[in-house]
Structure 1
Amino acid sequence: MLDFLSALFFPPGINIVLLVLGFIVHHRWKWTGRLIMVLGIVSLYLFSTQAIGDRMLFNLQKYPAFNKDIFLNNHLDKNTAIVVLGGGRRRLAPEYDKEDIINPMTMERLRYATILSKTYKLPLLLSGGEPDNEATPEAVLMNQFVVEELHQAVPFLEAKSKNTRQSAKNAVDILKQNNISNVILVTHAWHMKRAFAYFQATGVNVYAAPMGFVPRKPFFSSKLKPFYPSAIGLLHSQLAIKEYAAYWWNPAKTPIKETREDNLQQKSQQPPQQQEITTDEK
């Protein structure tokens, strides 16, 4: 039921709803119906452009890229783990004997996290459950990819969560049992704001390691191309609107006590020159 409502209230579902509603209303209130249909068509076009979709994703990007200075200044060589959030799966992939595999978004996160793990000699925790309770948990699929294709050991798996909030709680519970109090969090830059808030609310020290940045000014072969309707533009708009909705609908609870150390670590992650991401880095 939730998936059905989500399909209706996010692009392109909401646009189709407006068109149908406008058509129905048009029979009784002519101009009102026309206005609703025009709104549906115009909004569908706007959401289908990268000019809109990319800008909405860019505005979600709060944290700069992780770097060696953050690692050294916060002494993250001890009691630290890298937590990677799952980004979805491909179900019943024909080329893999109809087995589930992780999707490209998850692969990107795992590749970057593995680089961090090898660079800083830190353990990985992979987080991802199975929302439908019917298939292999995503964390298990992630582990297969990291071990078999990236040749990296994975000491911790969190395979019971159904959403980002649960990932934060379950992952931190596992880490605390292993005396780990520092988390380097890996997810897409546009997802980091909400994910960071959930992890921070658990009381651990969190350091953002975002990846997959959407640049402020993407390169296009033509000045008009950002305004062409496209599937990628619609996907970016959908991702952004869902992220905004989830952030406001299910906000993280503020930690009970914010220490001076917490304030210092946030400042170390966001130097004045990087508080707003303005680079063209992908």
Structure 2
Amino acid sequence: MDFDTAIALFWLKKLISVLILPPLMPFALILIGLLMGRRRPRSGRMLVWTGLVSGLLLITPAPVGLLLEPLEPRQPLSLSAATDAQAIVILGGGRMSNAPEYGGDTVNRITLERLRYGARLSRQTGLPILVSGGAPSGEIPEAILMKSSLEEDFDVRVRWTEPSSLDTRQNARYSAGQLKASGVTRIVLVTHAAHMRRARAEFEAAGMQVSIAPTAWLGPRPIGKPVDDEVLPNLPSAGSAYAAWFAVHEWVGLLAYRLSR
């Protein structure tokens, strides 16, 4: 089998992200601190306490909200802002492998949240849809699963399918290539609110004019109501931990984006 550099880099990034993102990151700091304890007790204790404190902060709503606030747009899409758009682009967010009730692979929760909103926007605006997402392990491309879900579950037709991208940058570049070939340069971009800042930057760098359509806020809602207890409760919870993982993932992604420009 031929060595695929792009696939190798994708999995290397995934491995590094597992090590530097919660929930493993705080435990890694604690472990390193314990291992250093005998030779450098002061540094070891500092790392242990850093791991403990960061682990607690990353499951607590207030600090997680601070991480999310600069990432998430303050307002949802206004339909008047989409009047000049020519297409809706929905970005994939992952897959669910071997789902027994579906008889095989299907989209995961993150992707489904984006598809639901994209389908709603398509009905409201009449705009055609492009779905974007590849298959790093050689399975059915994520875009194909997205297309099936939209057409079978939401009764919404997909015009373009981009099945080769492995990350947000490739989402933008490969999608832009297809759209420009069809004369499309103005899009409504659908992705999670926390992912929108990075996704918008990539699509604009690829030559698209972007109207943002964020969905699935994890931090304070744009309308100013209290945050849902199931997402960021007042006390540490699994919901807060999930939101923290998403937020840190996006900050690392933004750093990588800036370093690679």
Scaled by the length of structure 1, what TM-score is found? 0.80
Matches of residues 114-129 of structure 1 in structure 2 within 5 Å? 114-129=119-134
What is the alpha-carbon distance in structure 2 between the residues aligned to residue 188 and residue 173 of structure 1? 23
State the shift of 1:178 in Å. 0.9
1 or 2 for the larger relative contact order (CA 8 Å, sep ≥6)? 1
Is 1:230 equivalent to 2:241 in the alignment?
Answer: no
The answer to whether the 8 Å contact 1:53/1:235 transfers is: no
Which consecutive residues of structure 1, in runs of 5 or more, have no partner in the other structure?
255-282
Looking at structure 1, the residues matched to 131 and 258 of structure 2 have their Cα atoms a distance apart, in angstroms, of 23
Q: 2:173 aligns with which of 144, 160, 169?
A: 169
- Report the TM-score, using the length of structure 2 for normalisation: 0.86
Partner of 2:155: 151
**Cross-structure match for 1:278:** none
Match of 2:9 in 1: none
Alpha-carbon separation, structure 2, partners of 1:39 and 1:145: 43
1:198-213 equivalences in 2 (<5 Å): 198-213=202-217
Looking at structure 2, the residues matched to 104 and 135 of structure 1 have their Cα atoms a distance apart, in angstroms, of: 18
What is the CA deviation profile of residues 147-193 of structure 1, one whole-angstrom value per residue up to 9, with x for unaligned ones? 00100111110000000100101111111111112111111111111
- 1:27 is displaced (CA, Å) by 1.3
Counterpart-to-counterpart distance in 2, 1:242 and 1:116: 27
> Partners of 2:140 and 2:14 in 1: how far apart?
20
Stretches of structure 2 that go unaligned for 5 or more consecutive residues are 1-11
Contact 2:233 2:240 in 1 (8 A): no
Q: Helix, strand or coil: the match of 2:258?
A: coil
C-alpha contact (below 8 Å) 1:63/1:189 kept by paired residues: no
- Return closer, same or farther for 1:225/1:82 CA change in 2, 3 Å cut-off: closer
- Amino acid of the structure 2 residue aligned with 1:70: A
Check whether the contact 1:63–1:210 (CA below 8 A) recurs between aligned residues.
Answer: no
The corresponding residue for 1:2 is 13
Q: Could you tell me which residue of structure 2 aligns to residue 243 of structure 1? A: 250
Report SS of the residue matched to 1:250: helix
Residues matched between the structures, number? 244
**Percent identity over paired residues:** 35
1:109 Cα deviation after fit: 0.8
Give yes or no for contact 1:49–1:234 (8 Å, CA) kept in 2.
Answer: yes
Compute the displacement of 1:253 (Å).
8.2
For residue 47 of structure 2, what is the amino acid of its counterpart? I
Aligned-residue offset at 1:33: 1.9
Deviation at 1:31, TM superposition (A): 3.2
Aligned twin of 1:218: 227
Residue 109 of structure 1 is matched in structure 2 by: 114
Note the C-alpha offset of 1:225. 4.7
3-state SS of paired residue (2:136): coil
The verdict on how the C-alpha distance between 1:33 and 1:10 changes in structure 2, with shifts beyond 3 A counting, is same
Worse-matched range after superposition: 212-221 or 231-240: 212-221
Residue 54 of structure 1 is matched in structure 2 by: 65
Residue pair 1:11, 1:237 contacting (<8 A) in 2 also: yes
